[in-house]
Amino acid sequence: MMRLPVLRLSRLGLRARLSLGMVAVVLLTTLGVATAALFVVKRHMQEDIANEQFDRISAIADAVDQKFLSRRTLLKTFGNSVEAQHIADSKLLQDFVMQHKSLKEAFDNVAFVDRNGDLVANLNGADKIGKVNIKDREYFLRTVAAKAGVISQPYRNRLNGLAQIAMTEPVLNSQGEVVYVISGAISLKEQNFLGELANIKFGKSGYMFIANTDGIVIDHPRKDLILQSVNAEGGRNPALDRAIAGFEGTAEAMNRVGVYGLYAFKRSSQTNWVLGGIYPRSEAFARIEEIERYTWAGALLLTALVGGLAFVVMRSQLMPLSQLHEHMQVSRAVSNYAPLEQVGPKDEIGDLSRTFDSLMLERQIAHERLRSSERFLRDVTDNLPAVVAYFDRHQVCLFGNKAGLAMRGKTKADIGTLTMKESLPEAVYKQLEPEIAKVLAGTATRYVGTYDRNGKEGFFECHLVPDIGHAGEVFGYYVMTFDVTRQKVAERERAAGEARIRTITDNLPALVSHVDASLRYTFVNAHVRALHDNAELVGQSMADVRGIEDFKMVEPYVQRVLAGEAVTFEMTGYRTRGLSQNWYQSHYIPDRDQEGIVRGFYAMTFDVTERKRAEIRSAESEKRLRGLTDNVPALLTELDRDERVVFCNGRYLTWLGIPPSSMMNRPIREAVGDAHYEMRKPLLARAFAGEEVSFEQTAKLLVGERTLQTTYLPQRNAEGEVVGLYILANDVSDLKQKQMQLDTLAREDALTGLPNRRSFEEHVREAFARSRRSHLPVCLMFLDIDYFKSINDSLGHAAGDAVLKEFGRRLKESVRETDMAARYAGDEFVVLLEGVTDADEARLVAGKVISAMQPVFHLPSRTLQVTTSIGVAISEGDEDFPALLACADSALYAAKKEGRNRFIMAASRSETQEARYGSSFARREQLVQ
């Protein structure tokens, strides 16, 4: 058989291969670009069509919301008119309604029903009044319970059978109770509500429809479907199911009659309505398919033209390549590079020639810069006030700065032969031998030692850092040594000064202490220690040492001194032995740093019992000379049986500016005014009937608006009959304010500022109630700080408190404003998420919390890597909080068991095994100096 010759590309020249390759590239590129461009154009056009449809349906949804808002404003204004005129008679109310027939432009009917659900006024006529009751209607019950207007679910009118919705507004009396409910009915089969919006079409056969989140049709071109289920005719529409579940946007799907279309969905902000629009795909994307056909025809024609032209041009343009190749061969044989004389045309090949010249020249410049950098490094280290050196694993010096070489009278020539032992005095080397063993084992170390400094004791600080390769092998170590003699001497002098100060304060007849900004004791004298049985108080918090009750008494003064104010106050107490009461005077003085920032305060407390007892004896003597009632810090009044004022004390003058004499023998109604008397008349009647009555009121005194606690005490004769009243009004403004402050403190964690366990559990009860009403689950996250006990034990409680504060801050920033994060106990935290639709939302929040803890924590004296473990549990409808907490606690235990620094979802009851999800953030905690 005769063998045909085969063309082999390897036998062709470079220009021929490149020319043929260029033709192939042009062909593939043209086809590829056409395909990519067509894909991008189709995608963008489809996205534009989808976005346009979504914008239209969003505009319709906004218009529907505006219609609801305008009608709500109309009903609210109508209700305010009824409240303002106090219309109580049903006939007057019917006449009032009939005067507003213009409401028919917005509603099919407007009716008034009383609290029992009975119809009392009707815009469509009075014939149905008293014959219709809607007390079982869901929208009526919600309006009465919430005292606010609602928009009802769609329903069928019991009288005319029409599909309707109702908008309601309550009418309240002066006590805030619901008197009437205004109901505005809107027909769903008429266009008086949607108007022209109902006729909007998408393309030729597309249309708009409305359903609610319960799957009930609100509006549709086919009116017979209104109030029917979206699945009433069989089959399912996946796009509509997603929209009812909460999806907003566009999607492609096939409807129940087999039409494949582009859907757009948007929720109404005023109701649970979902507005949708369908645009048949055959109409929506018809223009795109036409563009696709023309694009492919043009691409094939362009390929034929450009391919031939590229073959011709390529042959002529590759000539300069051979010239560049010859130049490169010559350049390899010479030591000093000579630039190319002719670099070719200003095209890619010419750029390649010029680039080759530039790279060769840059290489020569880089060598020069490297030598210059080495000189610079030497200059820097030689001028450092420290010994800097590098030793290999055999302790041979490979680098040493000027200070290090001069210390032992060595020069640069000794580098490479000088060992660590030879470079140091023998006494110093013996001190560092254990540290050298550590650094050669791969552990960085720091050592403070002593040396002979011209016959005196000197101190040095030596840092040894290992040079570790990628595989973990130690090549050598870096050494940096400082002279810290002055620092050590200063520390000794400071210690001596502190001893003198302690001797002085221990002998002062007072309790002397210093507290830092975190309210922890940093100094106490002997009297303070003796008061607490010589216990170690430094480092403990002020609240723990003094006790909660005692600390609350001084806390306002602590806040003032931390704000920069010097404070002096007195308080009472009892001697540790015996029950005699004593008085103490305390002076709190702020401790400021050089910038004026308060970093704590000094406290000095003196026993002033004798002085206070002398003052009390003097005050008691003075009291006997005053009228008792004029000094009672309250308004005291006595009324006779005829409600006449027979006595009032001097506080009327100091508090209200009213002389007591001007009120004597006057009826109380005349003294206080008709309006005030009518408000108190029922209470006075109860008191004259023999009941002790107490209430609070707000009064405008000369000193400003204050809260008074008023009590009516019946005055009885020997037979037990009420012959008058004693009226006592105490100013409890400060007490109310303190109660509010105490209530806030009781619900807030003092350290982190987060809600505490009590506040969280109160919130949980409300959240579970909302969950049961909305049928939406709640999610509980149970967190703790990994290795927190080790942090407390190794760094102290101050560092632990700083970690808790920073952890709480990051946790609060990681969750939504609608979620609640709280400190539950110790280093345990909890987060409650409401309205969680699926587990992915919980995983997203848990991942954010894990990520938020990854940056190092910056403590006052160091940085620290802190991580957290999280257990996540989602309610399934019938759990209580203890059960959900137990699930989250089990998941937290599993997360810690898996290695910490992760979260794990608690298994649902329907699952047979735990579904575990975690972040791979686990790593060993490190302390960074």
Residues classed as catalytic: 827
Q: What count of residues does the chain have?
A: 929
Residue 594 φ then ψ, to 5°: -65, -30
Beta bridge partners of 574: 581
Q: Are 401 and 387 in contact (CB under 8 A)?
A: yes
Torsion of CA 315, 321, 323, 329, to 10 degrees: -150
Q: CB 400: neighbour CB atoms within 10 A?
A: 26
Q: CB 543: neighbour CB atoms within 10 A?
A: 17
Structure tokens at 101: 């027939």
Distance (Å) of CA 405 to CA 395, 410, 422, 527: 15, 5, 11, 56
Distance (Å) of CA 609 to CA 73, 526, 551, 580, 811: 68, 21, 21, 10, 49
Q: Give the whole-angstrom CA distance, residue 405 versus residue 415.
A: 9
**Sheet order of strands, 581-592 included:** 521-524, 511-516, 598-607, 581-592, 567-574
Distance (Å) of CA 777 to CA 708, 772, 877, 892: 46, 8, 6, 20
Q: CB 661: neighbour CB atoms within 10 A?
A: 10
Q: Give the whole-angstrom CA distance, residue 466 versus residue 721.
A: 98
Q: Residue type at 228? A: Q
Q: Are 551 and 603 in contact (CB under 8 A)?
A: no
Q: Are 671 and 663 in contact (CB under 8 A)?
A: yes
Q: Provide the 3-class DSSP secondary structure of residue 562.
A: helix
Type and span of the H or E element at 725: strand 722-731
Q: Are 163 and 226 in contact (CB under 8 A)?
A: yes
The C-alpha angle with vertex 647 and arms to 644 and 653, in degrees rounded to 5, equals 110
Structure tokens at 552: 């609350």
Residue 190 φ then ψ, to 5°: -110, 165
Q: Give the whole-angstrom CA distance, residue 258 versus residue 277.
A: 16
Rg (CA), the chain: 44
Residues of the chain by 3-state class (helix, strand, coil), percent to 5 = 45, 25, 30
| Phi and psi based region of residue 439 (left: phi greater than 0; alpha: psi -120 to 50; beta: remaining) | alpha
Beta bridge partners of 514: 523, 602
